[in-house]
Structure 1
């Protein structure tokens, strides 16, 4: 009886969210390579409560290999537009890129990441931006584990938590060539290369 009552009052989630949650119900197989997804969001600013996502770039890493053909690039329709940030990311309100609404972008992002470990530089900000978009869809927060390349470098060099490094600095230190900097897909690709070098140095499986 109590279980029946719980089922009645539990929230009915949309199918896309149920599909996403199902990815975490299966036990990981030791025979399958561990999948990471390195991602980046270009946004209208740095306030996750007021700003919104303009584009999402993501690329998969399996074990120690970057899988270029397992990638994602999304551009979102811009209801909020800030000319002062457009000069940084280069995304114009009426640019040539095909743009989709936020809800569709987030659903496609969830379908891409599945239960992968999420990687980013200052990844907590990007995760919070995604979580705010999920909140607008009346569902929960991301369930994925995550790793931050800044924190990885701190660990590798024995730095204090307040000793941060920018992505540009890590590229210079680790000799990673930069291309398409300040685009979501470009930054995701660069971060993936940084991640692979740090992963090897830290002997992360």
Structure 2
């Protein structure tokens, strides 16, 4: 019996992807973990632009787990000097930079099966998925929550009524330290998330 046709259908995924998928085994006992994350990028076109840095922090039991965080900087094959004033990341900066593939693998290892949280998070998810596509694997499987959508729900706003992260910081009196860095924005968003989570009784 010729099994070549079957091998073409069943893709031989790399080990890191199989490990990531294993976290979603229904038989695993799950303690709810949220990972709030943010990507700084070369621009806002997810097809052409690339990730410059990823910052992420974990939340469990309604507390930010200070020791459970990650911050990584990526080597810049594509460089847009116009965006440096926003994120402050130079092409040849002092930060240790890793290639995109290693960055994404580290990110998957950090998030595991956590619920991902971000502000206007769809863009960040798409940037990660584009990087995964370049590795010839699938897309993120995690559940996702958006702090802007949470605020819309709380205030009965329409989908068109967007609120910026800066606005939410003003509303909830959250200090905007390290704004426009991936790790800083992730931490700020985590504080906003905890406020909204409590108000929505999630």
Smaller-chain TM-score range?
Answer: over 0.9
Q: Once the two structures are superposed, what CA deviation does each residue of 1:63-117 show, in whole Å capped at 9, x if it has no partner?
A: 2100011000000000100110011000000000000000000000000000000
Under a length normalisation based on structure 1, what TM-score does the superposition of the two structures give? 0.94
2:80 is aligned to 82
1:157 is aligned to 155
Specify the SS of the correspondent of 1:182.
coil
1:16 is aligned to 16
Aligned length: 202
CA distance in 1: counterparts of 2:34 and 2:27, whole angstroms: 16
2:138 is aligned to 140
1:58 equivalent among 56, 59, 64: 56
Extract unaligned runs of 5+ from structure 1. none
CA distance in 2: counterparts of 1:111 and 1:9, whole angstroms: 26
Specify the SS of the correspondent of 1:48.
coil
1:7: how far off? 5.6
Q: Once the two structures are superposed, what CA deviation does each residue of 1:14-44 show, in whole Å capped at 9, x if it has no partner?
A: 0000000000013453xx5410000000000
1:180: how far off? 0.2
2:47 is aligned to 49
1:110 equivalent among 108, 111, 122: 108
CA distance in 1: counterparts of 2:176 and 2:19, whole angstroms: 36
CA distance in 1: counterparts of 2:195 and 2:179, whole angstroms: 19
1:71 equivalent among 69, 72, 77: 69
1:100 equivalent among 93, 98, 101: 98
Under a length normalisation based on structure 2, what TM-score does the superposition of the two structures give? 0.96
1:157: how far off? 0.6
CA distance in 2: counterparts of 1:94 and 1:158, whole angstroms: 45
1:178: how far off? 1.1
CA distance in 1: counterparts of 2:129 and 2:62, whole angstroms: 28
Q: Structure 1 residues 159, 6: closer, same or farther in 2, change over 3 A?
A: same
Segments of 4+ moved more than 3 angstroms: 3-9, 26-29
CA distance in 1: counterparts of 2:113 and 2:176, whole angstroms: 28
Higher mean C-alpha displacement, 4-13 vs 111-120 = 4-13
2:197 is aligned to 199
2:25 is aligned to 25
CA distance in 2: counterparts of 1:94 and 1:135, whole angstroms: 26
